[in-house]
Amino acid sequence: MGKPTGFLDYERKNAAAAAVKDRIKNYKEFHTPLSEEEQRKQGARCMDCGVPFCQAGKLIGGMFSGCPLNNLIPEWNDLVYRGQWEEAYERLHKTSSFSEFTSRVCPALCEKACTCDLYGDPVSTKENEYAIIERAYEKGYAKANPPKVRTGKRVAIVGSGPSGLAAADQLNQRGHEVTVFERSDKVGGLLRYGIPNMKLEKEIIDRKVAIMEEEGVHFETNVNVGKDKTAKELLEEFDRVLLCCGASNPRDIQAPGRDAEGIYFAVDFLTKATKGLFDGKPSSIAKGKHVVIIGGGDTGNDCVGTSIRQGCKSVTQLEMMPKPPVERGADNPWPEWPKVLKTDYGQEEAIGVFGQDPRIYQTTVKEFLKDEEGKLRGVILVSLESKRAENGRMMMVPVEGSEKEVPCELVLIAAGFLGSENYVTEAFEVATNQRTNVETDSNYATNVEHVFAAGDVHRGQSLVVWAIREGRDAAKAIDKDLMGYTV
C-alpha cells in the first residue's frame, strides 16, 4: 500500500491555491495541481496500516468514519505511487460514479479517518482522486461505455442531482432505459446551482453528462414532475420511478421585519450568481453592500466567497453554536470525524480582503430593520447562550441585554433545509416522516408500489458523497426488483 516508508520519507503537499487578491477577481477554480512526480510521492505516503478506516464508511462512536462509497483507497493510492494510472482509474471507478465531483467538493471524510492523521498529516487522498480522474479524461480512459445489451425495462428518475445521476448511471449500465427529469433548465441539481463555480466549474458537469448521454441516458430538462408531468403519467410510462428530488425546502428565520427587501435564501442567491455567469451577466446583488449571512457550513462559506467576488462592502457570518476547538477533544477521538475549527476558502478570502474572520459565534438576528421604502437597512443581533430546557434538552437562548445594531443591506439565510417539497411527495402520495423526508424500507422502496426514493429527499440534507452512495444503492435495489436478481 504505497511505499512502506513513504509516510516517513515524504511530507504531505497540497495543490497550491492562487493568492486571495487574484482568485476573487473571477469564479474559476483556483488550485494548481501537483506535478506527476509529486503526486506519486503523495500516493507513496499511504501506509500499510492494517485497518484502513479511510474506506470504512461506518458508524464509529455515533459518527460516520471514512468514505461512504467504500472507495478502495489504499489500492488506488498504491497504483498512483507506481504510476499505473489506468489501473488506478479502474479501481476508483468500481465504487465511485463521479470522482470528478467528489474530488472537488467532498470534505474528504477519508482523510479525517486516515491512520497518518492520528499523529501527523493524512494522505492527500482527495487530491490523488483528482489526479486519477483528470488523467483518465486526458488519456481517454473515462470515455463512454454504452451497455451491450438492453433489458427492455424503463426507469424514470425525478431529479438530476448527485443521487439521481448516480442511479441513472448504474441502471443504464445494467441495460435499463433511463430517463432523468429535471425541473431546471440544466442538469445537475444543487451541483449545478447550489455549488459555486470556484468549487465546481460547470463544464465538469457538462463533460460527464455528455458521456452519460452517449451511453444512452435520456435527460429531460424544464420538466417539473408533480406540476408539468403527473405522477400517474410517470407510473404509466415507466416500470419504476425513483425520487431523487432533494431536500430543497429552506429553513427560514422568523423575526420582526422578515418582509424587508434584501433578504434571500442562500440557495436562491447562489443560483442567481451561477445563472448570471451562464448568461454573461454576472450577478452583483452584494455589490457595495454590508452582507450578513445567517448560518455556517459549506453553504454559508460559499455565500461569503460569492459575496466577496460580487464586491460587497463587508461580510459577517453568524454561527448559532459556540466556536469549535482547534484540536480534537477527549470525547472526539480519531477516527471519528473531527469536530474542530475549519477555516474554508470563503473565510480565508474574507480575512485577506477585510482583515478578519467573518464568523461571529453564538449569535443570531433578533430583528430585521427596514427603511421608509421597505428596504433592509440593518439588523439587530443578539448573543446566545446554552441553557437546559424543561424537557432536558440543551437549547441556545438569547442573552438579555446583548442586542447590537449593525448596518446591513443584504441578508443571506443559510440555515439548512427542512426536507422535501410537499408538492412532489403529495403528487406521488408517498409517506414522509416528521422532517418531511420520504420514508422507505431498507431497499429504498416507498409505501407506493414501484416508487423508490434516495438521496436528500430520503436522507435529509447531506453531503454529495452520501447522495451518490444512496443513488447507487437504490439502483441496485430497483434492478433486483425489476429482474429478480442484480449484478
Do 230 and 288 lie in one domain? The reply is: no
Do 309 and 428 lie in one domain? The reply is: no
Do 227 and 299 lie in one domain? The reply is: no
- Band the pLDDT of 3: cuts 50, 70, 90: confident
Do 320 and 387 lie in one domain? The reply is: yes
Q: Is residue 284 part of a domain?
A: yes
What span, in angstroms and rounded, lies between the C-alpha atoms of 172 and 166? 10
Q: Is residue 92 part of a domain?
A: yes
Encode the chain in three state secondary structure: CCCCCHHHHCCCCCCEECCHHHHCCCCCCCEECCCHHHHHHHHHCCCCCCCCHHHCCEEECCEEECCCCCCCHHHHHHHHHCCCHHHHHHHHHCCCCCHHHHHHHCCCHHHHCCHHHCCCCCCCHHHHHHHHHHHHHHHCCCCCCCCCCCCCCEEEEECCCHHHHHHHHHHHHHCCEEEEECCCCCCCCHHHHCCCCCCCCHHHHHHHHHHHHHHCCEEECCCCECCCECHHHHHHHCCEEEECCCCCEECCCCCCCCCCECEEEHHHHHHHHHHHHHCCCCCCCCCCCEEEEECCHHHHHHHHHHHHHCCCCEEEEEECCCCCCCCCCCCCCCCCCCCCCCCCHHHHHHHHHHCCCCEEECEEEEEEEECCCCEEEEEEEEEEEEEECCCCCEEEEECCCCCEEEECCEEEECCCEEECCHHHHHHHCCCECCCCCECCCCCCECCCCCEEECCHHHHCCCCHHHHHHHHHHHHHHHHHHHHCCCC
Q: Give the count of domains, the chain.
A: 3
What's the first-to-final CA gap in the chain, in angstroms?
Answer: 29
pLDDT 10s digits, 114-150: 999 988 999 999 999 999 999 999 999 999 999 999 9
Do 409 and 429 lie in one domain? The reply is: no
C-alpha neighbours within 13 Å on the C-beta side of residue 39 = 26
- Residue where the block lists cell 429504498: 444
- Of the three residues 392, 415, 438, the one that is the final residue of a domain is 415
Do 303 and 209 lie in one domain? The reply is: no
pLDDT 10s digits, 424-434: 999 999 999 98
Do 359 and 402 lie in one domain? The reply is: yes
What's the pLDDT at 209? 98
Q: Is residue 1 part of a domain?
A: no
- Cβ–Cβ < 8 Å for 402, 364: no
Q: Is residue 149 part of a domain?
A: no
pLDDT exceeds 80 at position 44: yes
- Cβ–Cβ < 8 Å for 405, 376: no
Q: Is residue 476 part of a domain?
A: yes
Q: Is residue 147 part of a domain?
A: no
Q: Give the sign of the dihedral formed by CA 261, CA 267, CA 268, CA 274.
A: positive
Determine the structural domain holding residue 111 and report its residue range. Answer: 6-139
- Cβ–Cβ < 8 Å for 290, 407: yes
pLDDT exceeds 80 at position 155: yes
Length of the chain: 487
Do 258 and 404 lie in one domain? The reply is: yes
What's the pLDDT at 48? 79
What's the pLDDT at 145? 96
Indicate the burial class of 389 (C-beta count within 10 angstroms; 0-12, 13-18, 19 or more). Answer: exposed
Neighbours of 318 (CB within 10 A): 25
pLDDT 10s digits, 413-449: 999 888 888 899 999 999 999 888 999 999 999 999 9
Query: What is the average per-residue pLDDT within 326-350?
Result: 93
What's the pLDDT at 391? 84
Name every residue whose Cβ is closer than 8 Å to that of residue 173 and which is 6 or more positions away in sequence.
145, 147, 215
Q: Is residue 95 part of a domain?
A: yes
- Cβ–Cβ < 8 Å for 173, 478: no
- Of the three residues 415, 445, 475, the one that is the final residue of a domain is 415
Residue 351 — left, alpha, or beta (φ > 0 → left; ψ -120 to 50 → alpha)? alpha
pLDDT exceeds 90 at position 300: yes
What is the pTM for the complete model shown?
0.95
- Tell me how far the alpha carbon of residue 271 is from its chain's centroid: 15
Read off the CATH number of the domain in which 316 is found. 3.50.50.60
What's the pLDDT at 389? 82
Do 402 and 388 lie in one domain? The reply is: yes
Do 34 and 98 lie in one domain? The reply is: yes
On average, the pLDDT of the chain sits at 95
Query: What is the average per-residue pLDDT within 350-363?
Result: 97
Do 300 and 386 lie in one domain? The reply is: yes
- Band the pLDDT of 249: cuts 50, 70, 90: confident
pLDDT 10s digits, 393-408: 889 999 999 999 999 9
Q: Is residue 468 part of a domain?
A: yes
pLDDT 10s digits, 52-87: 999 999 888 788 899 999 999 999 999 999 999 999
What's the pLDDT at 294? 98
Nearest to 26 by CA among 316, 277, 285: 277
Tell me the sheet residues that pair with 60: 63
Read off the CATH number of the domain in which 103 is found. 1.10.1060.10
What's the pLDDT at 390? 82
pLDDT exceeds 80 at position 1: no
Do 388 and 334 lie in one domain? The reply is: yes
Neighbours of 447 (CB within 10 A): 14
